Chain A
Amino acid sequence: MRLRLLAAAAAFSLALAGCGSASEPGTSGQTGTTTLTVWFMRDSLSDAIVKRFTDDFQRSHPGITLNVQSQEWDGIGQKVISALASKDAPDVIEVGNTQVAEYAASGGVRDLTGKVADLGGADWLPGLAEPGKIDGRQYGIPWYAANRVVVYNKDLFAKAGVTSPPKTRDEWIDVTTRLNKGGVQGIYLPGQNWYTLAGFVWDEGGDLAVEEGGQWKGALDTPQALAGMAFYERLQALGKGPRDSDEARPPQADVFGKGDVAQIISAPGGAVAIEKANPDLKGKLGFFPIPGKTADRPGAVFTGGSDLIIPEASAHPDEAYEVVKALAGEKFQLDMAKEMSYVPNRTSYAGVLSGDEATAAMAAGAAVGHATPNSPNWAAVEARNVIKEYMTKVLTGGDAATAAKEASGVITTILNTRS
């Protein structure tokens, strides 16, 4: 009822306004004070570090006020696109590295190619820099990365007599089989954790999709990719992870928190959520890089992370660039890496991470980090759940080659849709 009243009221006010949307005056102040709106993703930074940054930035840039807003991941694609299409867009936006290509290709993002040298772009992490680059122009500025590691329960490892973390895939399967006894799950790996599958595929020398002469082709049906899927299936069977769900449903940190799961694959930041779910596990969590095929090379991982963009519609692009420069600069990067256990945006900053088990495991993997196929349409592949459905089909007894062929066909179609 209240809803209907609200609707009626809204309709009435709309009628009064005559369908018109009054253009809001910009927030730029009268005498020299400029307010910049900055969008960060929820939980990507702690409140403390945001405050430190804001205070510091405003002190060194008198006349600029920062209005930092935090956004939810759910539905962010549509929200950012609406913002880029609007006339009062935020001035700086944090965007996920698998989505940045889509925004960059839309023409609504400022081209920052001329600033790469100024930002020290020579040793940016490729997993962040490449997705932000379209046709040789840099739109997204690398900000931070975090990749997946194996988080394990030290108590359960000790009980099973495992003294050192596995270094190769064979050892990993062996150890996990030994752990997977009684009421304990060797590993909790949901069937649709496709970032993990991507890592196994890259290890075999395959890819999710390849570009040849301007045409994309889904590559899940190559022998390499099928070998990656076969390994995923072997590993997944050593626990009770649901075959038709991903790591968010149910939240795997909660499952791990119950205490009967020996390992999960997660970003080190996930440890915070586990300790929140079960404070008894504090101090009992260990980390190691995802094992590769041989001991001298850790498993390939998907480099997750974020880039920064300045919308074309920003009213204060120069000031916005100052914010980006500060966020991508050494001082903030080192502070953030320590506070948030992230990999900083330049390899030359990586030294700051040594000494911490979680971040050291992550940094080892980051050295062999990969990105998702660099196409503006990749976000559509994710949105259509193509890979997730493929994985469930294989894990529930479907023929892998047929399913892979089908999924690759869909990926090919989506990636070759011209915008």
Chain B
Amino acid sequence: MARALARTARPALVVEARTRRKGAFWPYLLVAPALAAFACLLVYPLARSVVISFQHFRLGELIRGGAAFAGLANYAEALGGPEFWAVVRRTFLWTAANVVLIMVIATAVALMLPHLGRRMRLAVMSGMVLTWATPVLAATTIFQWLFQSRLGVVNWVLVRLGFDSFRDYTWFADGRATFAILVALVVWQSVPFAALTLYAGLTTIPGELYEAARIDGAGPWQVFGRVTFPILRPLFGLITSLEVIWVLTCFAQIWAISKGGPGGATATLPVYAFQIAQSLHRYDLGSAVSTLTVLMLLAVLVVHLRRMFREEGA
């Protein structure tokens, strides 16, 4: 959803700008379905969620209707408890760990690709496209099987290698192990998109620049720092922003593997909001947490996006 929107948002704006000049009616008609869908599927639920966050809205109100205005009570409850702040810290740790790993690995893969032979490059790229094409829940299920305590292949390999303490080791009973497995899963799923996009960016850099840098005596690190990175800076910025959005709002993988457990060790903000809303039927408090999540995400991204647009404009 987010990907599709990110891709379509710009053409839509361009079309709109042109129409104003010509005063034609057609373009409006053509964007109308997309805008209507956007309003129904995104704006309406978002607005409704914000409204609910200011109401006393629980199971009874869901079924009988007639929710009363509650002011800021839900926000006060969310912000006042220690649990919320623990979840926020965990969410930032989760996002930072994932995004850093994704960007480092993706950059390394993208820089490696041009140096591979044709067959090998094809193999690596096919592998990445397949990884990317694997449905989220299918990949998640495979990871669950890999780390299964009694029949999982990871424990089998570790025991074979002589680490006997991993016989029947219960990965998903330990908070940190579950967190690490989820990071591995999300990084594995996200690297292909970032790596392939960066590789596409790399191929647009003229070879003469590298040649010139090397003649001037630049080593590999300097070439990257002085040539590659500055040219691809907008691309790095865009991919990092997208990964921050996707990782922070990541839900399906966490819910399928751990439902936020064990003991809340993998409850990030979206999972926490869903737990509150769906299992406790505190739709009001869950909406408040969701709204706070969106605000936090905006705060993180606005700084970044503003700098990016300014650079692009300059």
The chain B residue with its CB closest to the CB of A108 is B63
Partner of B280 from the list A4, A105, A389, A417 (CB cut-off 8 Å) is: A417
Contacts known (A15-B40, A385-B259, A389-B261); A243 close to B170, Cβ less than 8 A: yes
Distance A414 CA – B280 CA, assembled complex (angstroms)? 7
Which chain B residues lie closer than 8 Å to A78 at the CB level?
Answer: 278
A15 engages B37 (CB within 8 Å): yes
Report A3 CB to chain B, min CB distance, Å. 10
Cβ contact within 8 Å between B60 and A106: yes
Chain B residues touching A, range:
20 to 34
Asked if residues A384 and B59 are in contact (CB atoms below 8 Å), the reply is no
Q: Is the CB of B60 within 8 A of A12?
A: no
Within 66-93 of A, Cβ neighbours of B (below 8 Å) are at 78, 81, 84-85
Q: In the complex the two chains form, what is the Cα distance from A356 to B67 in whole Å?
A: 53
- B90 an interface residue at 8 Å Cβ cutoff? no
- Please provide the chain A residues from 1 to 54 with a CB less than 8 Å away from any CB of chain B in the complex: 4, 8, 11-12, 14-15, 18-19
With A380-B280, A417-B280 given, is the CB distance from A15 to B172 under 8 Å? no
Cα A105 to Cα B280 with chains together (Å) = 13
Nearest B residue to A82 via CB reads: B62
Cα distance, A56 to B127, chains bound together (Å) = 60
Distance of A18 Cα from B37 Cα, bound (Å): 10
Interface centre among B36, B172, B275 (most CB of A within 10 A): B36
Determine whether B2 belongs to the interface, using a CB cutoff of 8 Å to chain A: no
Q: How far is the CB of A384 from chain B (nearest CB, A)?
A: 6
Please state if B173 and A396 are interface contacts (CB–CB under 8 Å): yes
Q: Which residues of B contact A102 (CB under 8 A)?
A: 59, 281
- With a cutoff of 8 Å between Cβ atoms, the chain A residues found around residue B44 in the complex are 19
Q: Which of A4, A244, A245, A419 contacts B60 (CB 8 A)?
A: A419
Is the CB–CB distance between B149 and A243 below 8 Å? yes
Whether A279 is near chain B, meaning CB under 8 Å from some CB there, is no
- Asked if B37 and A11 make an inter-chain contact with CB atoms under 8 angstroms apart, the answer reads yes
Q: Which residues of B contact A81 (CB under 8 A)?
A: 59, 62-63, 281
A242 to B281, CA, bound (A): 32
Q: Report yes or no: A107 in contact with B60, Cβ–Cβ below 8 A.
A: yes
Nearest CB of chain A from residue B80's CB, rounded to whole Å: 15
Q: Please judge, given known A-B contacts A84-B63, A392-B262, A419-B58, whether A11 and B281 are in contact too, CB under 8 Å.
A: no
CB distance from B117 to the nearest CB of A (A): 32
* Interchain CB contact under 8 A, A377 and B280: yes
Q: Does A117 contact B (CB under 8 A)?
A: no
**A105 and B173 in contact (CB under 8 A), knowing A14-B40, A15-B37, A244-B149?**
no
Q: Contact mask A100-135 → B, CB, 8 Å, 1/0?
A: 001001111000000000000000000000000000
B window 48-64: CB within 8 A of A: 58-60, 62-64
B259 neighbours in A (Cβ, 8 Å):
384-385
Q: Report whether A383 and B279 are in contact in the complex, using a CB–CB cutoff of 8 Å.
A: yes
Q: Which B residues are within 8 Å of any A CB, using their own CB?
A: 4, 32-34, 36-37, 39-41, 44, 58-60, 62-64, 148-150, 168, 170-173, 259, 261-263, 275, 278-282
Q: 3 shortest A-B CB distances, which residue pairs?
A: A11-B37, A15-B36, A383-B279
A residues lining the B interface (CB < 8 Å) = 4, 8, 11-12, 14-15, 18-19, 78, 81, 84-85, 102, 105-108, 240, 242-245, 312, 376-377, 379-380, 383-385, 389, 392-393, 396, 406, 414, 417, 419
Contacts A14-B36, A106-B60, A384-B279 given; 6 further ones with Cβ under 8 A? A244-B149, A383-B278, A389-B263, A392-B170, A393-B262, A396-B173
